[in-house]
Amino acid sequence: MEAKDTVMSPEMKVDILKDCRHRGETMLPKLIINLTEAQAEISFKAGIKEMVKWGSEPCVGHKRGIFKHQCHLCWQAKLKEWGLDAKKEGEE
């Protein structure tokens, strides 16, 4: 899954704007805040779901019978894929 796959549907945006209008919130900044907060929640939940799904997959090629969330090597590979691995001093 990529970030673009978590963008809320046009229908959901319309529903949020209708809900804002129903509550008397018609100022643009408030509408933008409502939309972006709803979008952030969608993306945040999708990220958690993606992470749980990954961790529940079996470790491949390191140790039999464990899941990726139990495998230090799978974890390090995932961090590297995300660019979050601890790099040694002087490395880019």
- Using CB under 5 A as the criterion, which residues of the chain lie in contact with Zn ion when the complex forms? 59, 62, 71, 73-74
As measured in angstroms, the least distance from the Cβ of 78 to Zn ion is 10
Which of 26, 76 has the CB closer to Zn ion? 76
| Spatial separation of the C-alpha atoms in residues 37 and 59, rounded to whole Å | 35
- On whether the CB atoms of residues 21 and 70 are closer than 8 A, the answer is no
Query: Of 33 and 58, which has the nearer Cβ to Zn ion?
Result: 58
**Angstrom distance (rounded) from CA 1 to CA 47:** 9
Rank residues 39 and 70 by Cβ distance to Zn ion and give the closer one: 70
